[in-house]
Structure 1
């Protein structure tokens, strides 16, 4: 690893930046769908309340602290009286939202809206979604006792779906009490992170969701209690307490030396069945599995190619710091070509060119590298890696325009970006967005017009206006993020609606960065 890349990695992953660790959605596989439908109660005895110290999370930059809108007294309980659904890692005010954001929204509406969120949106919107999922808000006012914990479960499932396992773990640890459904999620997360011992230790003495007998048998075997595991498996089979595919796989796990011939992997791999196959010497590659499985390739036991693939997936969904990806790219020299290897070579070539401080070489390397990252939606990560070292250099032509674009996407050195901004309609609109200035009248068709319309003071149309006025801000924010995701596919009306809603919620800074990324990034696949 070069000195330049090494310094960048340290700056991006040490204090002040999280060490967070992106694909078909996890909801497409049974283990997560089953978790979503597990009953939340009964609960284990509540944990004694106490202060929580949570390190900063990756991707939580860009707060827009504004006071919450006034709409009368808030009747939710104080968050000092912790509930499952109020569990969070930092106060709502830190992202400029009111504590009572869920307000009068029906719980099912909120959980469905969270489940519908897609990681296929611009990075600034991904970061806003992540902050919303892990922040501490009062529970919805209409929540009844039998609904307790369902909103937390929906948030956890979305975090797992996008691969934000460390944040999900922190939320689970912060919960004031443990339920069967939460324990099931914690068990799966620990397995995905390669922490089987922790998973089994957590299982002991805890409530567990339906289907937890398979987990108990797995843990008995891992702890060397083979006879107990055999007996438990036989009893579970006799009583119908374990699914036949799980029973067959556990039988092979217990009888490894005399194992039956290899079976096809289950159609829907759970984290536990995936770990068992790995232990049997029949590992299933993570590339075709949901992105949460990618964490396994970062344990140091996988090859370099697998590590790169995993890091790219997790960076793409916004849960891994670009600096860590840069560190993996520069571990060694590529020995092949095509795909990831071309990106490895491009990063290393640009790093070498920066070392020469020769503008021509830097510009050439930059122009070769950018399209490789743009076509796999890693352009913003590339910008975060190289913005600072690129900033002082005097590039020309297309390289200078790209340099300017990178500085804006990385949200750094805006003074330098202003010096080299192109004198075009796109350049003028982008600089106004980045600098927080009034947006100019623009002759840009389509998206340019939608962006400027999104920042006008026009009232929101129904039903957005009704949600804002009816104390359903969380519902409005989730809808706005859905509109932004649709906008990335070229829907200009969705762009206007999403941006207008963010501005109405007081999230103007987030709206500006999202608009900037819609303008400068191509996410249309």
Structure 2
């Protein structure tokens, strides 16, 4: 999956009072894996070649209406190769259903494609209204993957000072621990949200505890607060009550505000059994290293945390104990040391052990992206040639994986040919390999996706094919062939190759 590493452009907020460069989002985009379109000769996109460098655009700082907000993206068309009409001909409700059905932990290649689609700058569907529902659907999908930083950048680029988007802005800001600006905006413009709980919290955060208490009393009298919010806000506004009143039970649908209120009253919640997006809260520097590591691994599985940041946490200090995450930390550090010393004897021992540890956490691709470049060019012992081959296949250097092999068997040949986009049916030894070869042999999009493409509903066709490929476990070989054929037809060659490799080496995960 080609990385759009040059995505270092300034994103301005939709209102002049909050214009700033969101560095964390830029760093996320720089490190994250995304997909690019390289149209095949005569392909349907008819777009110019994908730019190798991204120019910093001159963006006017203006308030966006809801229709323009729905079109906001972090990845411009010349970075992705996707046309501006990506979504235009599809019904917003249909796209929303597609976004809601995205698997929670897709194949990494499909995950990268989803990020590209969700963050693409493109004209909104023709039937969108004035409530930013299409952008909201994209934001909700990003939140389910745990991708707070790009979601926050999207809502800020769209202009968060509108009622349809403010609650998203506050939620995301609460999750990454930078809610001051959102709260300050709400203090000036209370109409931005219907949530009295948010108004009370932000008023208190601004230091106006008296007004916060009065607003709380009025809300109680009117019955406008949920039971959990009533208790949490009471304990937050009057800390002396904490000693004699227990916190409420954790709500089934916990909100970011409730999560932060539990924390504020001295009853912080562990995030491991909460929706993935809450794992971001453990990366604010307020949790212990173990909690940070486990949260980082959880987010790295969906690409919400780039592999480089995960590696930084793994190597931050020496493991404090043994077992579980500490064993993974120790293994990564020993492997890092062996590579730094070019110690192939130590590498023979530690590489398989570290690989097994990463497999246990479904972090194989993150591991491959980190370490495949460091394995390249080493004179590896025969015992780990095959493993180095497979690791490299799962990385962005997949086309060079065969360089690690001194002897080649039938599966090696099929995988090596697949890496170059030319898998041969004659070499396929399993039904899955046969399905993959069939998909690459196809010369046009699958019949199931042709009607969408004929109606210029490109984004919807890509979503349909990606989901078909990602959710193909337990059979569905025809679906695999169809999905690969369509992805290649629309120019997503690299996505098709990497997803097929991942199906063979990792299995379906949707």
User: Do these two structures clear the TM 0.5 threshold for a shared fold by scoring above it?
Assistant: yes
For the 8 Å contact 1:52–1:174, the answer to whether it is kept is no
Aligned to 2:334: 349
For the 8 Å contact 1:350–1:366, the answer to whether it is kept is yes
| Per-residue CA distance 1:477-507 (angstroms, 9 max, x = gap) | 1111211221255542332222122112221
Q: After TM superposition, give the deviation of residue 94 of structure 1 in Å.
A: 2.5
Determine the C-alpha separation between the residues in 1 that align with 2:340 and 2:160.
53
For the 8 Å contact 1:400–1:420, the answer to whether it is kept is yes
For the 8 Å contact 1:57–1:167, the answer to whether it is kept is no
Q: After TM superposition, give the deviation of residue 394 of structure 1 in Å.
A: 2.0
For the 8 Å contact 2:386–2:405, the answer to whether it is kept is yes
Aligned to 1:31: none
Change in CA separation of 1:256 and 1:471 when aligned onto 2, cut-off 3 Å: same
- Asked if 1:328 is matched to 2:320, the reply is no
For the 8 Å contact 1:484–1:499, the answer to whether it is kept is yes
Q: After TM superposition, give the deviation of residue 447 of structure 1 in Å.
A: 1.4
Larger displacement relative to structure 2 (206-215 or 377-386): 206-215
- Asked if 1:453 is matched to 2:426, the reply is no
Q: After TM superposition, give the deviation of residue 461 of structure 1 in Å.
A: 4.6
Aligned to 2:36: 63
> Would you say how many aligned residue pairs link Structure 1 and Structure 2?
478
For the 8 Å contact 1:47–1:176, the answer to whether it is kept is no
Aligned counterparts, 1:486-505, within 5 A: 486-488=471-473, 491-505=476-490
For the 8 Å contact 1:377–1:523, the answer to whether it is kept is no
Aligned to 2:70: 85
Determine the C-alpha separation between the residues in 2 that align with 1:206 and 1:65.
46
Change in CA separation of 1:488 and 1:342 when aligned onto 2, cut-off 3 Å: farther
Higher RCO (C-alpha under 8 Å, 6+ residues apart) = 1
Q: Which SS does the other structure have where 1:410 is aligned? A: coil
Segments of structure 2 that go 5 or more residues without pairing to the other structure are: 9-13, 47-58
Q: 1:423 aligns with which of 408, 418, 425?
A: 408
Q: 1:262 aligns with which of 225, 237, 246?
A: 246
Q: Which SS does the other structure have where 2:188 is aligned? A: coil
Over the aligned positions, Cα root-mean-square deviation in angstroms equals 3.0
For the 8 Å contact 2:77–2:120, the answer to whether it is kept is yes
Determine the C-alpha separation between the residues in 2 that align with 1:249 and 1:176.
30
For the 8 Å contact 2:31–2:308, the answer to whether it is kept is no
Change in CA separation of 1:207 and 1:175 when aligned onto 2, cut-off 3 Å: farther
Change in CA separation of 1:145 and 1:46 when aligned onto 2, cut-off 3 Å: farther
For the 8 Å contact 1:92–1:98, the answer to whether it is kept is yes
For the 8 Å contact 2:446–2:485, the answer to whether it is kept is no
- Asked if 1:124 is matched to 2:99, the reply is no
Q: After TM superposition, give the deviation of residue 187 of structure 1 in Å.
A: 0.2
Q: Which SS does the other structure have where 1:392 is aligned? A: coil
For the 8 Å contact 1:329–1:347, the answer to whether it is kept is yes
Determine the C-alpha separation between the residues in 1 that align with 2:436 and 2:401.
24
Determine the C-alpha separation between the residues in 2 that align with 1:281 and 1:246.
16
Aligned to 2:133: 150
- Asked if 1:280 is matched to 2:265, the reply is yes
- Asked if 1:512 is matched to 2:487, the reply is no
Determine the C-alpha separation between the residues in 1 that align with 2:20 and 2:235.
45
- Asked if 1:108 is matched to 2:93, the reply is yes
Aligned counterparts, 1:98-247, within 5 A: 98-141=83-126, 143-146=127-130, 148-175=131-158, 178-206=161-189, 211-247=194-230
Determine the C-alpha separation between the residues in 2 that align with 1:216 and 1:450.
56
Q: After TM superposition, give the deviation of residue 91 of structure 1 in Å.
A: 1.9
Segments of structure 1 that go 5 or more residues without pairing to the other structure are: 1-12, 19-44, 72-78
Q: After TM superposition, give the deviation of residue 325 of structure 1 in Å.
A: 0.9
| Per-residue CA distance 1:125-155 (angstroms, 9 max, x = gap) | 11110011011111112x1535x51111100
For the 8 Å contact 2:31–2:306, the answer to whether it is kept is yes
Change in CA separation of 1:491 and 1:134 when aligned onto 2, cut-off 3 Å: same
Determine the C-alpha separation between the residues in 1 that align with 2:92 and 2:268.
40
Determine the C-alpha separation between the residues in 2 that align with 1:241 and 1:474.
41
Change in CA separation of 1:151 and 1:422 when aligned onto 2, cut-off 3 Å: farther
> Structure 2 length normalisation: TM-score?
0.86
Q: After TM superposition, give the deviation of residue 353 of structure 1 in Å.
A: 2.3
> Structure 1 length normalisation: TM-score?
0.83
| Per-residue CA distance 1:437-473 (angstroms, 9 max, x = gap) | 4646323212101111112225445442211111111
Determine the C-alpha separation between the residues in 1 that align with 2:287 and 2:21.
34
Q: 2:233 aligns with which of 245, 250, 261?
A: 250
Q: After TM superposition, give the deviation of residue 123 of structure 1 in Å.
A: 0.9
Aligned to 2:507: 522
For the 8 Å contact 2:184–2:206, the answer to whether it is kept is no
Aligned counterparts, 1:386-397, within 5 A: 386-397=371-382
Change in CA separation of 1:325 and 1:372 when aligned onto 2, cut-off 3 Å: same
